[in-house]
Structure 1
Amino acid sequence: MRSFEGYLGSVANPRVKEWAKLRERKHREREGKFLLEGVHLVKEALDAGWPLEVVAFDEGSGVLEQFAPYVEEACAGPGRSGPAWIPVSPDIIVKCSETGTPQPIFAVALKRPLDGAQLFEADRSLVAVLDGVQDPGNVGTIVRSAAASGATAVVLGKGTADLYNPKTIRSTMGALFHVPVLEADLDELLPQASERGIAVVGTSLQAAQSCYAYDFGARSVWLVLGNEGGGLSPQVAELVESNVTIPMSGRAESLNVAMAATVLLFEAQRQRGLQND
């Protein structure tokens, strides 16, 4: 049985410094890696078979008891299966964490870039397209709702918060491992979708058509969601085929973009589910 790699205790260790740099976007983009903090996210990644380089844990915390099956698999046989499991000091856990009271485990994960051509392969696709959604919590929640509603993918346009921002990742609650997410230039991608007969649908408070009257089941639909304050950018608004609104009988100026996305995605799921009965 293979043992763990050597204990790391100093935050000055070069390897630790490289991990800590992944808290910054420029280093994540350069290295093609990102951090996962906490028991839930690390388990979700392991269960999904996501490529992990390292799982670092506080050996004295007892957290590894929750990962016994994964450790057994990693340590079985003469070769390595999966990530390196490395015991580290509590100081290193804090150094590589964004939260004030971090859980005693984190992982270094590899990015899995996706090809935009994959978006056109699905029959009757349902895609959430984000145009300048800046809040990491909103982006993460939309990814979570997309995964829960059976959406085909999520597309992040320019100006949208980084998927691999620790706050975004926490907000996804592991859903980023279950729905494809890719970055793209919407000025290029949306015309390609329209040319293929895909309905590119925006959201607007001024739209005449209710989302409940729109037919989400007839063909592929891409839902385009705009910035929290300004909505869709003028360039993207011109590329939208039609707009829908979410009727509100109560008194509120508008819905949060993540809430609006959730309503629309699950309305599409409802319609498509009814058609499949």
Structure 2
Amino acid sequence: MRKFEGYISSASNPRAKEWAKLLERKYRDREGKFLLEGIHLVKEALNAEWPLEIVAFDEGSGVLDAFEEYLDGDRKDGPSWIPVSPEVIMKCSETGTPQPIFAVALKRPPTKESLFAGELGGIVAVLDGVQDPGNAGTLVRSAAASGATAVVLGKGTVDLYNPKTIRSTMGALFHVPVLEADLSLLLPEARAQGVAVVGTSLQAAQSCYDYDFRRGNIWLVFGNEGSGVSAEVTALVNANVIIPMSGRSESLNVAMAATVLLFEAQRQRRMP
């Protein structure tokens, strides 16, 4: 059975203060770490063998009953398990009623070069100024579920490691590489590498169902909730497509539109 570190009772404990700072982006960026809250996310990270520094849990909550398989044996690798008070849990959470367990995880972004490597060749989802954490997290989920090989977050897009974004991914960020980049620099490089960059626009003439997603590396660009793909990025795409709608609606939510396009690309690529 894995041994636990000493109990931390005070929210003023120096370690608890350091963990709580990760609720702010400037500290996440500086430390290269982020917080995972709740049973599901911590389990997903453990199953994916994501690098975790610590797992903190409310010793009196019984939450460890859900983690017996990760605590059995005499393994010396993996995170430190630290019992803490409910006050520490509350300090390190932004939700009103936090779950009794959280983890400090290390960032593990892919390299830019890996986006052009053979093992990541395929469909890549690109976010240009998507600002809502729920939309960004759902889009990462759809990318992972549809077999996309990576997600790129352009400038102006919400922080992937924002706790709300993390929750919205439902653990999908552990299953698809996610890279933050300047699209004005990355997209021209991608095109020079033979990537087809495809934008989404309500003014596009070509239906997404007529576009050929079956060949080569294709990057799908999804824009801001209100203004769509920026003019700067639009100038860098090879083609624009639209999702045809026969019903009465002005447009789709960006996460919904991305899901439609990602799964259409998956469908075409799996056709005989």
Whether the TM-score (by the shorter chain) exceeds 0.5 is: yes
- TM superposition shift of 1:113: 2.7
- TM superposition shift of 1:208: 0.5
**Does residue 265 of the first structure (1) align with residue 262 of the second (2)?**
yes
Residue of structure 2 in register with 1:44 after alignment: 44
SS of 1:161's partner is: coil
Residue of structure 1 in register with 2:95 after alignment: 99
Equivalent-residue separation in structure 2 for 1:91 and 1:157 (angstroms) = 37
Deviations 1:171-220 (A, max 9, x none): 00000000000001111111111112211000001111000010000221
Identity %: 75
**Does residue 114 of the first structure (1) align with residue 132 of the second (2)?**
no
- TM superposition shift of 1:3: 2.1
**Does residue 250 of the first structure (1) align with residue 247 of the second (2)?**
yes
Unaligned stretches of 5+ in structure 2?
none
SS of 1:176's partner is: helix
SS of 2:72's partner is: helix
- Conserved 8 A contact 1:122-1:152: no
The runs of 4+ residues in structure 1 deviating greater than 4 Å are: none
Residue of structure 2 in register with 1:176 after alignment: 173
Equivalent-residue separation in structure 2 for 1:111 and 1:266 (angstroms) = 28
Equivalent-residue separation in structure 1 for 2:93 and 2:242 (angstroms) = 40
SS of 1:159's partner is: coil
TM-score (ref. length: structure 2): 0.98
SS of 1:86's partner is: strand
Deviations 1:236-273 (A, max 9, x none): 11001100000001111100100000000000000001
- TM superposition shift of 1:147: 0.2
Equivalent-residue separation in structure 2 for 1:182 and 1:165 (angstroms) = 15
**Does residue 215 of the first structure (1) align with residue 224 of the second (2)?**
no
- Conserved 8 A contact 2:199-2:222: yes
CA RMSD of aligned residues (A): 1.0
Equivalent-residue separation in structure 2 for 1:134 and 1:239 (angstroms) = 21
Q: Which amino acid aligns with 1:212?
A: Y
Residue of structure 1 in register with 2:65 after alignment: 65
TM-score (ref. length: structure 1): 0.96
Q: Which amino acid aligns with 1:154?
A: V
Residue of structure 2 in register with 1:21 after alignment: 21
Give the aligned length.
Answer: 271
Match of 1:90 among 81, 86, 96: 86
Residue of structure 1 in register with 2:34 after alignment: 34
Equivalent-residue separation in structure 1 for 2:232 and 2:203 (angstroms) = 18
Q: Which amino acid aligns with 1:20?
A: A
- Conserved 8 A contact 2:109-2:177: no
- TM superposition shift of 1:51: 0.2
- TM superposition shift of 1:2: 4.9
Match of 2:203 among 200, 206, 216: 206
Deviations 1:7-45 (A, max 9, x none): 000000000000000000000000110000000000000
- TM superposition shift of 1:122: 3.0
- Conserved 8 A contact 2:126-2:221: yes
The 5-angstrom pairing of residues 216-231 of structure 1 reads: 216-231=213-228
Residue of structure 1 in register with 2:182 after alignment: 185
SS of 2:81's partner is: strand
Unaligned stretches of 5+ in structure 1?
none
Equivalent-residue separation in structure 2 for 1:238 and 1:203 (angstroms) = 12
